[in-house]
Homo-oligomer: A and B are copies of this chain.
Amino acid sequence: MNIEKNKEERKLRILASIIREYITTAVPVSSRSVAAAMGSSLSSATVRNIMAELEESGYIEQPHTSAGRRPTDKGYRQFVNLMARRLEMEKEKAIILRDQFEERIRSIKDIIERTTSLISRELKHTGLVMWPTMDGVYLKHIELVRIKAKTVLAVLVTMTNAVKNYIFMVEKDIEKTQLKKISNFLSSNFEDSKLSAISERLKVKAPGSGNSQVTKLASSALEIIDKIIEIDIENDVFMEGMNWFAMEPEFRDPKVSKHVLNLISDRKIFGRLMQKELPYRGVNVYIGSENESEILKDCSVITSGYDIHGETVGRFGVVGPTRMDYESILRTIGCLSDVISKKLVELSK
């Protein structure tokens, strides 16, 4: 029984070894090099037997007979699952990460840009950050501007100093002065609230036929706030470091490179992907074919959430070829999640 377990464990250690080597070399791994990597405690022949079993289980594959093995998506998955528990970042590294966010952070935009840039530089893959959903975020300021008849421009400033704007139609035309009143009404009564909370509270206020003036104001305001919430499904994604794809040897294949270009020119894919997993704060890993999108079948996407005041309002992550360094990425992403969330709280005072 104990022996059984040891056997299984050794098998997985070998899988890990194969993956680690393949990640750095991008070349199918031979039994010999695995044996060497395992400290020569095993002969290549033994390793060969085990590798045959691993292939049987679908964790690795041969591009062709008489070539080494490379990990399959399933193999990567196994690997990721196994190590998922122990992914603390070394103290020093964590401090280096933190330091990157020390200077000149004045708005969430700065944080977002800093994050993608960090991911790009440190992890050598494309970094992604989703803007926080507006409805989960506290407002600092709201301003309404009349564009033309029945058309309103809303400018929101969040506690994190993000500026977002929305143009939308309203039922009946609102005068410039009236709009100013609504702006003021919202600003004075609902500053420092969340969009969703404002909507809730307005719903209570609006239909109650107390002071007709206030009621009217509230119902106009409600219409506008709900419009904003409705529009805000787009969820913009900020990307940086697409050029790392070019460095990968996989990129030599023109078919692949074509794919990649199509991929990175369509940020919506990532917007949808991250939106979907949103209430969740933890780390997600999608490996190759695990991705819903066909276009991502040779890529892996690793994402994590970030909080503002304990509420998960956005996600960020990394895209790259399936052959990526899951270990260091998972470590970094996990750590970054904390750093960003902390910074965001600081930002909103």
Binding site for B on A (CB under 8 A): 106-107, 140-141, 143, 145, 147-148, 151, 153, 155, 157, 161, 163, 165, 167, 240-243, 245-247, 251-252, 254, 257-258, 260-262, 264-265, 349
Contact = CB atoms under 8 A, between A and B. Distances in A.
A261 B247 CA distance: 10
Given A106-B151, A246-B262, 5 more contacts: A106-B147, A106-B167, A140-B145, A240-B265, A261-B261
A157 B261 CA distance: 34
Given A143-B143, A265-B240, A163 B161 contact: no
Contacts of A107: 147, 153, 167
Contact of A261 (B165, B167, B245): B245
Count of this chain's copies in the oligomeric assembly: 2
Contact of A155 (B163, B243, B349): B163
Contact of A167 (B145, B161, B260): B161
A294 to B, nearest CB: 16
A153 B148 contact: no
A110 to B, nearest CB: 8
Nearest to A247: B258
A265 B251 contact: no
A287 B76 CA distance: 46
Contacts of A147: 106-107, 161
22 contacts: A106-B151, A107-B147, A107-B153, A107-B167, A140-B145, A141-B145, A143-B143, A143-B155, A145-B157, A147-B161, A153-B157, A155-B157, A155-B163, A163-B165, A242-B261, A242-B264, A243-B258, A243-B261, A245-B261, A246-B262, A247-B258, A251-B257
A247 B243 CA distance: 18
B148 A349 contact: yes
A285 to B, nearest CB: 25
Given A143-B143, A252-B254, A155 B155 contact: yes
A246 B257 contact: yes
Contacts of A261: 242-243, 245-246, 260-261
A243 to B, nearest CB: 4
A293 to B, nearest CB: 15
Contacts of A260: 261
A260 B265 CA distance: 13
